[in-house]
Amino acid sequence: MDVYKITGENRLQGTIKVSGAKNSAVALIPASILANSPVTIGGIPEISDAWTLKALLEEIGGEVSFENGKMTIDPTEMIALPLPNGNVKKLRASYYLMGAMLGRFKKAVIGLPGGCFLGPRPIDQHIKGFEALGAKITNEHGAIYLRADELIGAKIYLDVASVGATINIMLAAVLAKGRTVIENAAKEPEIIDVATLLTNMGANIKGAGTSVIRIEGVEELHGTEHTIIPDRIEASTFLIMAAAVGDGITIDNVIPLHLEAIIAKLREMGVKIEIGEESIYVPKTDLSTLQAVDVKTLVYPGFPTDIQQPLAVLMSQAFGSSKVTDTIYTARFKHIDELRRMNADARVEGNTAIIKGPSRLHGSTVTATDLRAGAALVLAGLLAEGETEIQDIYHIERGYSSLIEKLRDLGADIRRETIVARVAETKE
């Protein structure tokens, strides 16, 4: 298996560039199905989820090229082939194929989505939206069957402000007849990014980024060119890293507005942050002055659930007792056990993690249980004394593009190694 080996306690310095947003890419790529001519999307991160989606679009007849972060998709020959398993199981966001294929073909068969296990992540709000538009949905043999004679605009109130459901309903509604109104819509920047692409393709969408989105259905959508927004979660991860092990790091290709919640929390801890137009500079942080903070994750524009795990590493260096309450995903604390292996003083009580600091972290063998837990362990490895080995790195590579190269350019001692799995010796 492949692992990351990190020798810690190196100070990092220089400029690190943020890739395009993973959570945008996984929706923009399926959105191209709705066009009647080629769509080009620039700035796509070279992550496994993007390659998986490329393969899925090719399975249904799309012609797709992907190089240097630019994906060109020709959807003209696509057909509504069932996608019951295989690649669909590899990523959570394969559910966007439901909305896109339903919108274009009025039918789809999609296997239940995969991805990181973070506790219950139901797609009931997606299904509620599709049914409101006139689709019949059944679950047969572990796949979702969607069928509609035609899609007709409707008023849809989301019980929870789900990003996935908001985008999926938008995808299904842009070619429906009449007007669709999504109330209690999620407001994440990725939703605005998808709406921008669809609008450039000829869709009529108003209110993306607010809690009410109005869509007037159109007859057809055409190809376009679009550049993806920077990844705010990757940018936030690098901000935390700069505070923990940086001797002056510039994070380039960011939209500071998208990072307000994390910047405010880091400043509260005592981290100095200088904001430019499209970059952020973090001077060397004196860890001896770092203060404990309490964090509660919320939907955007609140503190993102994806960042509480990397932040836990910085909390382990702060003076006092920090608390993280995750209101989004209850199972998002598996990194705490791994950090404890590295000598962090942390425990979980219900949906809250309590982290006491400062603790001197020690290198250890740890496992990335999901994408953002993996990012937290990379930060912990950079900070810890000795060598850290991180297993199950495929989770990390689902969301961070060229991570090793980016960190080595700053002076990190990190490498990827293939090791032969150790077989436990049995003693009589």
Domain boundary pick from 202, 227, 252: 227
- C-beta separation of 197 from 224 below 8 A: yes
Domain membership flag for residue 379 = yes
Give the end of a domain, one of 204, 227, 250.
Answer: 227
For residue 8, pLDDT over 80 is answered with: yes
Q: Is the pLDDT of residue 187 over 80?
A: yes
Does residue 74 sit in the same domain as residue 203?
yes
Inside any domain, residue 338: yes
To the question of whether residue 122 is assigned a binding role by annotation, the answer is yes
- Ranking 84-98, 125-139, 209-223 by mean pLDDT, the lowest is 84-98
256 is in an annotated binding site: no
* Residue 204 DSSP one-character state: E
Residue 365 corresponds to which tokens in the numbers above?
A: 């063998």
Percent of all residues in the chain with a pLDDT value above 90, rounded to a whole number? 89
Provide the β-strand partners of residue 205.
Answer: 215
- The secondary structure element, H or E, covering residue 227 is strand 225-227
Shared domain for 76 and 13, answered yes or no, is: no
120: exposed, middle or buried (Cβ count in 10 Å: 0-12, 13-18, 19+)? exposed
Alpha helices in 133-185, H assignment, sequence order: 163-173
pLDDT at 91: 85
Q: What's the pLDDT score for residue 425?
A: 47
Residues 74 and 134 in one domain: yes
Express each pLDDT in 246-269 by its tens digit.
999 999 999 999 999 999 999 999
- The answer to whether residue 423 sits within a structural domain is no
Please check if 214 is assigned to a binding site: no
The reported pLDDT for the residue numbered 93 is 85
- With a CB cutoff of 8 Å and minimum separation 6, the contacts of 122 are none
In whole angstroms, what is the distance from residue 355 CA to residue 302 CA? 21
Residue 104, phi then psi, degrees to nearest 5? -85, -45
Position 348 pLDDT exceeds 50: yes
The answer on whether 23 is annotated among ligand-binding residues is: yes
Q: Give domain status of residue 300, yes or no.
A: yes
125 labelled binding-site residue: yes
Distance (Å, whole) CA 251 – CA 404: 16
Whether residues 329 and 363 share a domain: the answer is yes
User: Is 405 inside any structural domain?
Assistant: yes
Would residue 236 count as lying in a domain?
yes
Reduce the DSSP state of residue 134 to 3 states and report it.
Answer: coil
* Per-residue confidence (pLDDT) for residue 428, from 0 to 100: 45
Report how far residue 282's alpha carbon sits from residue 355's, in angstroms, rounded to the nearest whole number.
24
- 204: annotated binding-site residue? no
Task: Establish if 135 belongs to a structural domain.
Answer: yes
Give the pLDDT of residue 313: 98
pLDDT at 420: 85
Task: Please report, rounded to a whole number, the percentage of residues in the chain having pLDDT higher than 70.
Answer: 96
pLDDT tens, position by position, 102-138: 999 999 999 887 666 655 567 899 999 999 999 999 9
Q: Is 179 annotated as a binding residue?
A: no
Domain count, the chain: 2
Query: How confident is the model over 163-167, as a mean pLDDT?
Result: 97
CB of 28 closer than 8 Å to CB of 240: no
Residue 330: pLDDT band (50, 70, 90) is confident
85 is in an annotated binding site: no
- Consult the annotation and say whether 107 binds a ligand: no
What pLDDT does residue 121 have?
A: 62
Q: Are residues 191 and 222 in the same domain?
A: yes
Q: How far is CA 171 from the centre of its chain?
A: 19
Cβ atoms of 397 and 47 closer than 8 Å:
yes
Residues 182, 85, single domain; the answer is yes
Structure tokens at 308: 């509480």
For residues 13 and 39, membership in a common domain is answered with no
pLDDT of 427 > 70? The answer is no
Instruction: Report H helices in 254-297.
Output: 260-269
The average confidence (pLDDT) of the chain is: 95
Residues 333 and 404 both lie in one domain: yes
Q: Clarify whether residues 99 and 58 are in a common domain.
A: yes
Distance CA(195)–CA(303), nearest Å, equals: 23
Of the candidates 116, 156, 336, 379, the residue annotated as catalytic is 116
pLDDT per position as a tens digit, 169-185: 999 999 999 999 999 99
How far apart (Å, rounded) are the C-alpha atoms in residues 210 and 203? 18
Residues of the domain holding 327:
2-19+230-418
Does the structure show a pLDDT above 50 at 426? no
Please check whether residue 1 is in contact with residue 28, taking contact to mean a CB–CB distance below 8 angstroms.
no
Q: Is position 92 annotated in a ligand binding site?
A: yes
If asked whether residues 203 and 81 sit together in one domain, one would say: yes
Q: Among 363, 415, 424, 360, which residue's Cα sits nearest to residue 393? A: 415
| CATH at 35 | 3.65.10.10
Mean pLDDT of 343-356: 97
pTM: 0.93
Q: What is the CA radius of gyration of the chain?
A: 22
Decide if 425 is inside a domain: no
Q: Which of 195, 227, 259 is the last residue of a domain?
A: 227
Is residue 42 annotated as a catalytic residue, yes or no?
no
Q: Answer yes or no: do 257 and 335 share one domain.
A: yes
Q: How confident is the model at residue 423 (pLDDT cuts 50, 70, 90)?
A: low
Whether residues 147 and 109 share a domain: the answer is yes
